[in-house]
Every structure is written in C-alpha cells, then in structure tokens.
Amino acid sequence: MGLPLFLSDNLFSVVEYPAHVLTQSEQAPGFESWHIANGRRSAFDYWTGITPNVVQTATVQCDRVRSANCVFLDRGFNYPGFAPSLQVSQDGVTFQTVVTPTLPTAVGPTVLTNSNGVLTEEGAWGLLFTVADGLYWRWSIPPLGSNTLPVTVGLWVGMAYVPQSGFLMPWSEDQTTLTVQETVSPLGWRGRGPRGIPKTGAITTKLLTDDEYDLARFHVVGLFGLRSRPAWICYDQSQADRTFLAIRPSGSGQGYGFEGGWYPRQDRIPYVEHEPSVTLL
C-alpha cells in the first residue's frame, strides 16, 4: 500500500493567491480561463478557446518563485489520448516542460507517479511528479483536430501534502451517503429522483514530527478547513484511480490537536465529496 495524498493547493487560483495573474492564449466569452480554478465541477463551467486545432495555453504568473509536485484535471476535459504539457519558466519567455503525459483513455489501478498519470473512476486525471519550481506555470493543450476546441473544467497545480503516517484506521475510500428525493407509496414502493451518492467519511492522521504540522496547517487546516477549499483526497497512491474531490462538510469540527497517547498532534478530518456526479439510472 502506498502513502496517501492530499491536494488542495492550486497556483492557478487567484482566490487562493490574490497576487497571481492568470492569462491565456484565448478564451471564449462565458468560458474564461478563470473557470479552471473556480472549484466548480459542472460540465457547463469550463475554459475553452476560440480557434480550433491550435495550441491553447493558460499561464499563471506567481508573485514569487513557487514549486509544485502535483497536477489534477477535473472530470469533463475532452482531450484523453492527447499529450498536454505542464511547463515552468523563470522569465515568462523560455518555458521548460515539467511533464508531458499522454492522458490515459481507460481507468485502471495505477500508481499516481505513473508517467502518464492516472484516470480516476469518475473521469478526472492526476499525476504526482518530481517537485519543480518556477515564477510562471503554464498548462499547454495541443491541437485537438479540426473543429475541436479544448474543454478544461478544472485544473489544479500545486504542492501536495503527503501525511507521513498514512491514513489511520478505520479506513475506507468507498464510504458513501445516499441523497435522494423519495416518495413511498402506501404499499411501500419507493419512487426516487436522481441519486447523489457522495463519498462521505473522515480520515484520521497522526503527525510523525512536530515539524510536519507546518504542512498540515497550510494544506489541511488552512486551505481545506479555514477556507473550505476543495481537496483531492487519495487514500493510496498505488490505487490512485479511486481519488476523489472533497470539501469540508457543513457543521464539522476539525483541527490538529494534542491528545493522549501520541505526540505531537493528530486529527480526524471529515469530508464530503464535492459536487459528485449524479446517477440518473
């Protein structure tokens, strides 16, 4: 079993990083580039260009040199089988390629460090790579063919937090809650509308060192907890196809604290899947 992973950081978010500047090669009216980092997962909320069959790029200029080691595309992108690239630059002119994965077209139990990344069960895609740094970060999508514009619903590029203790038991990445409107007839027959089945649960972690709290405080307490930003939660990097996007549930308590029997800190982090896909049948 591999280590877990937690990604909430996103250099492309000008909400998380107000001093960052996001630009793009093209953006269609109503489908501007900021849609890639607004946390919305609707199939109608995405960034696209204007001219088909050309390279399209989204570039963020950071306020300082920043590093990242993880990239995720939300479900709904239309370029599996193609090879986009994540690039960095220290001057905004010359870009170096960090990764050029050929996005997989099939779901499979794959390690998150696979050179082509992992397609998750719901159609998102992610890749954990060797840390790289840059003042500029760019997502570059190759030409997709005549009459085809690239669709990017969500893009996360940032530093992932890997809890060194792993997620402690009880442990289930498949725990769900059924939400549905239902009418029960006098005979007990049930009529139901569309079903939402978000993954719902809690992860338990214990920090191995006091120093690790710096990372936990930024990623889990700050971004996920205090700002309630979505986070990609991967229970096991060797089964990364089960990764999902979650947010902090309403009314939930959270915070790494000192408790008996362990030093330095530990936390139980409740989550609920963010805007899960809906089952119509």
Partner 1 sequence: MSLGPRSNLIFAAGGDVLAKYGTLTRRLQIPTFGGEGGKETFARASVATSQGYVTPGVLGIVPVAVGVPRIDWAVDPVTGLVQPYALIEATATNQARFNRDLTNAV
Positions that interact with partner 1 (CB under 8 A):
9, 16-19, 64-68, 90-94, 96-100, 131-133, 135, 158-159, 209-211, 213-215, 217-218, 222-223, 226-227, 264
Which CB, 97 or 175, lies closer to partner 1? Answer: 97
Give 129 or 244: the residue with its C-beta nearer to partner 1. 129
Phi then psi dihedrals of residue 212, to 5 deg: -65, -20
Q: How far is the CB of 63 from partner 1 (least distance, A)?
A: 8
Give first-to-last CA distance, the chain, whole Å. 34
Torsion, Cα 196 199 202 205, to 10 degrees, reads -160
Considering beta carbons, is residue 54 or 215 the nearer one to partner 1?
215
CB of 159 to partner 1, least distance (A): 4
Cβ nearer to partner 1, comparing 124 with 223: 223
Minimum Å gap between C-beta 217 and partner 1 is 6
We find the least distance from the C-beta atom of residue 139 to partner 1, in angstroms, to be 16
Is there a contact between 6 and 162 (Cβ–Cβ < 8 Å)?
yes
Nearer to partner 1, 41 or 66 (CB): 66
8, 132, 161, 245 from 39: Cα distances, Å: 10, 24, 19, 10
Question: For every residue of 117-144, which 3-state class applies, written as one string?
Answer: CEECCCCCEEEEEEEEEEEEEEEEECCC
Residues whose CB falls within 8 Å of the CB of residue 74, separated by 6 or more in sequence, listed in order: 41, 124, 153, 154, 155, 156, 245
> Min. distance of Cβ 186 from partner 1 in angstroms?
54
Helix, strand or coil, per DSSP, at residue 250: coil
Choice between 95 and 235, CB closer to partner 1: 95
Least separation in angstroms between residue 144's CB and partner 1 is 23
